[in-house]
Structures are given as C-alpha cells and as structure tokens.
Amino acid sequence: MADSEDDSGAPARLPLYQQVKNDLVRRIAAGVWGAEGRLPSEHELTAAFGVSRMTVHRALRELSAEGIVSRIQGVGTFACAVRPRQEFLHVHDIAEDITARGHRHRLRLITLESVRASAAQAMGFDLRAGAKIFHSVVLHFEDDVPVQLEDRLVSPKFAPDYLDADFTSETTARYLLRIGPATEVEHTAFAATPDADIRALLELGPTDDPACLILWRRTWSHGVPATQSQFVHPGTRYSLGSRSTV
C-alpha cells in the first residue's frame, strides 16, 4: 500500500481502508484479476494487507458504491469493466512544467524520513518485509496555489543518500533523475475524494469540488526498483496528458 504506519508509531496520512481502496483500484486498473475477474475473498485480502476484516469490508463497500467492483451475495466480489486509462509516457519534474508555462513554482517539504516497508511495499521493491525504505511528502505550489501533493517511497538501493538531499534547492524528481534515468515506468490514474487532511493541505474549501486526480507511479532504473509514488491533484486545477510519435 502507498502509506503505512512506521515503527515510530507515526500515523499514516491515509486511513487504512483508503490505502486498501487505492491499492485495489490500481490492481483492477492494471487488469490483475481480468476485465471482470473475481477478486480474492475478504479473508484473503485481510491476510494479504495485514489489516482487519472491517477495514477490507469498508474498502470493498465503497468500491462497490463507486461502480469499481460488483458484489454478489454468497458468490464474491468482481472487478467491473476497467476505466479507460491514458498512458503517460514520461517522468516530468513538475517545477519545470510550471516554469515552462511562465508561472512560479515553490515547494514545501512536509516529511523526509526512513520507514519500515510493509509486506506489499517490500514486494514492490524486491525487499524483505520490514526493510528500510525512504519516505518523502512534498506539497507543490503554482503561483502560491497548491497543485500537487507528492507522496514518494524510494529504495535505498537506488538512492542511498536520499535523506541527505537538500530538497529546498531542487525537487525530489530532479534529484532522482540525476541519479539515474527511469528506464521503466508504470502509471495508473484515477479520480477519488481524499481525506480531510489532504484536502486541507491542498486548500480545498467547502465550496470546492472535492474530487481529485490521483496518479500512482512505479519506476525502475536499469531493472532496479526505484520509486513508488502517489500524486494527488485538485481536479479543477490540474490535468495530465501525453504526446508520442506512432
């Protein structure tokens, strides 16, 4: 999952049920269980995520209400038809995108720490559960308006000095791209309503549309798992796109 509690007992930014939801959405979008395939049982998901059955039940209930899965009593939970997915081919530094439009970028570093990988995170990084990984949270502004909340996990194998970097002088993306290129990238984008803490960071007021565009990204550099990142954008302030030659 994208967020979890670390050994210090610091609370995760996202509630556990939301982490489970986000992870299931990514897997459904990636076709893990097929276009309309059957998901594992609540008992199996509880064991896989290491959370309570109540947490899994709430995640599935909300996914059902949003039309992402269908639940048939006594039969199981099935993925609904996958939402159309746009591939975003390149890894961009948001600061460069903003300045290229003639606007001013600034960032606020919220978190920079070492945490212990959950079982799901460790699997994505080819590490053992509980291994050390790096975690950063950065809020990006365009002309003093927050446009992206970046939550990033980084493998120490790829960026061993990540915690010593000065992210007041350059973005995390620019730093990581200097270390090594992203030779393989996996993207998944979907819409969701984040929790109150994230909405507050993005300065979404009670009259603002609460829907956000969420981009989940995994990167590899020359076969080495490098990063797992989640980017949350206010839906009315940001869009994603790509252009390629065919």
Q: For the segment 102-158, what is each residue's pLDDT rounded down to a tens digit?
A: 889 999 999 999 999 988 888 889 889 899 999 999 999 999 999 999 999 999 999
Can you tell me which residue has the tokens 């993925």? 79
In terms of domains, do 98 and 52 share one? no
Q: Do the domain assignments include residue 4? A: no
In terms of domains, do 38 and 118 share one? no
Q: What is the dihedral angle through the alpha carbons of 200, 111, 138, 222, rounded to the nearest 10 degrees?
A: -140
In terms of domains, do 123 and 174 share one? yes
Q: At 132, which CATH number?
A: 3.40.1410.10
pLDDT in tens, 143-168: 999 999 999 999 999 999 999 999 98
In terms of domains, do 202 and 131 share one? yes
Q: Do the domain assignments include residue 162? A: yes
Name the residue among 239, 222, 206 with its Cα closest to residue 92. 239
Q: Do the domain assignments include residue 98? A: yes
In terms of domains, do 152 and 216 share one? yes
In terms of domains, do 41 and 136 share one? no
In terms of domains, do 74 and 102 share one? no
How far is residue 46's CA from residue 37's CA, in Å, rounded to a whole number? 19
- What is the per-residue DSSP string for 179-243? H----EEEEEEEEE---HHHHHHTT--TTS---EEEEEEEEEETTEEEEEEEEEEETTT------
In terms of domains, do 140 and 170 share one? yes
Q: Do the domain assignments include residue 2? A: no
- Per the structure, the complete domain to which residue 46 belongs is given by 16-79
Q: Do the domain assignments include residue 190? A: yes
Model-level pTM greater than 0.95? Answer: no
pLDDT in tens, 61-82: 888 877 788 888 778 899 886 4
pLDDT in tens, 187-236: 888 888 888 899 999 998 887 777 888 988 999 988 889 999 999 998 77
Residue 216 bridge partners (DSSP):
188, 230
Name the residue among 91, 95, 94, 113 with its Cα closest to residue 165. 113
Q: Do the domain assignments include residue 206? A: yes
In terms of domains, do 142 and 224 share one? yes
